Amino acid sequence: MQAAKLASMPSAQRPAPPILSDGVITLRIARPTDADDVALGCQDPLNAMWTTIPSPYTVTDAQDWLGKQPTGAAWWASPVWIITTPPSDRWGGTIDLRPDGHGGAEVGYLLAPWSRGHGHAARALRLACTWAFSALGLQVITWYAFVGNDASRQTARNVGFQVPNHVFPRFAAQRGERRDSWIGTLTPEGLAAASRLADPRGAYLGPELTRRERDVLGHLTQGQSNRDIAIDLGISENTVKNHVRSILEKLQAKSRAEAVVIGLRQGLTSLPS
Q: Using pLDDT thresholds of 50, 70 and 90, give the confidence band for residue 7.
A: very low
* Mean pLDDT across 253-263: 85
- Please report, as a single letter, which amino acid is at residue 97: L
> How far, in Å, CA of 159 to CA of 152, rounded?
11
* Close Cβ partners of 202 (under 8 Å, ≥ 6 residues apart): none
pLDDT at 33: 97
> How far, in Å, CA of 208 to CA of 2, rounded?
27
* Helix then strand then coil, % of the chain, to nearest 5: 45, 20, 35
* Mean pLDDT across 140-152: 97
What share of the chain has pLDDT > 90, as a percent?
68
Cα atoms found within 13 Å of the Cα of residue 157, Cβ hemisphere only: 11
pLDDT tens-place string over residues 49-70: 999 999 999 999 999 999 999 8
What share of the chain has pLDDT > 70, as a percent?
90
The separation between CA 197 and the C-alpha centre of its own chain, rounded to angstroms, equals 18
> How far, in Å, CA of 140 to CA of 142, rounded?
7
* Mean pLDDT across 263-270: 78
pLDDT at 1: 39
Going from N- to C-terminal start, the domains of the chain cover: 204-273
Whether the CB-CB separation of 266 and 226 falls below 8 Å is answered with no
**Of the candidate ranges 75-79, 204-208, 240-244, the one whose mean pLDDT is the lowest:** 204-208
Better-predicted residue by pLDDT, 260 or 105: 105
pLDDT at 113: 96
> How far, in Å, CA of 107 to CA of 140, rounded?
10
pLDDT at 198: 63
Complete DSSP assignment for 176-224: TEEEEEEEEEE-HHHHHHHHHHH-TT-S--SSPPPHHHHHHHHHHHTT-
pLDDT tens-place string over residues 178-229: 999 999 999 999 998 887 766 544 444 456 788 899 999 999 988 889 999 9
pLDDT at 22: 84
Q: Which residues pair with 26 in a beta bridge?
A: 21, 84
Look at the domain 204-273 and name its fold: Arc Repressor Mutant, subunit A (1.10.10)
* Mean pLDDT across 65-84: 94
**Of the candidate ranges 132-136, 170-174, 181-185, 195-199, the one whose mean pLDDT is the lowest:** 195-199
